[in-house]
Amino acid sequence: MDNQIIIKIVLIAALAVFAVFLMLPGSGARHLALRRLSMIGLFAIAVVAVVFPQLINDVANAVGVGRGTDLLLYGLIVVFIGNSLAASRRYRHTEREVTNLARALALAEAPKPGSHQD
């Protein structure tokens, strides 16, 4: 179906962006900023969609999706995947920090090497 090519490109591009995002060693500030910008973007889209319901249908038709609800579903899936990736990334980061903290604590409480009595 030729008229669906646009939505296919859009969805695959979004997923590709996530893949790149996952590979890049990100700096904290940039990630935080990107996350906040995308939150604002989503918010803006949501407001526009509420105010002009017909707009979603028009956009859906323009990119080759039959109904506005379908477009919303696609968008939801993309946002969900992106959110999952960001969350797991944050989780791994936290895990590293916890490891360093726990290790420092464990070593601080251990007896000094050489002081151990047999």
Partner 1 sequence: MPLYNEGQVVREVILQARAVFPNIVCVDDGSSDNSADEAAAAGAVVVKHPINLGQGAALQTGLDYAMSDPSAEFFVTFDSDGQHGLDDALAMVTRLSEEPVDVIIGSRFLDGRTKPGRIKKVVLKLAVIFENVSTGVRLTDAHNGLRALNRRAVSVIRIEQNRMAHASEIVAKIGQNKLRYAEHPVHIIYTDYSRAKGQSVWNLVNILNDLIFK
Is residue 116 a contact point for partner 1 (CB under 8 A)?
yes
Q: Which is nearer to partner 1, 7 or 31 (CB)?
A: 31
CA-nearest of 89, 99, 97, 79 to 39 is 79
**3-class secondary structure, 110:** coil
Residues contacting 42, CB < 8 A, separation 6+: 79
- Per CB under 8 A, the list member of 4, 41, 95, 97 interacting with partner 1 is 95
Q: Which two tokens stand for residue 16?
A: 């590709």
Residues contacting 56, CB < 8 A, separation 6+: 49, 68, 71, 72
Is residue 88 a contact point for partner 1 (CB under 8 A)?
yes
Is residue 103 a contact point for partner 1 (CB under 8 A)?
yes
Sketch the per residue contact string, 28 through 67, with partner 1: x for CB under 8 A, - otherwise: ----------------------------------------
Contact 79/42 with Cβ under 8 angstroms?
yes
Q: Taking the complex as a whole, how short is the minimal distance between the CB of residue 80 and partner 1, in angstroms?
A: 18
Which residues form the interface with partner 1 (CB under 8 A)?
Answer: 22, 88, 92, 95-96, 98-99, 102-103, 105-107, 109-111, 113-114, 116, 118
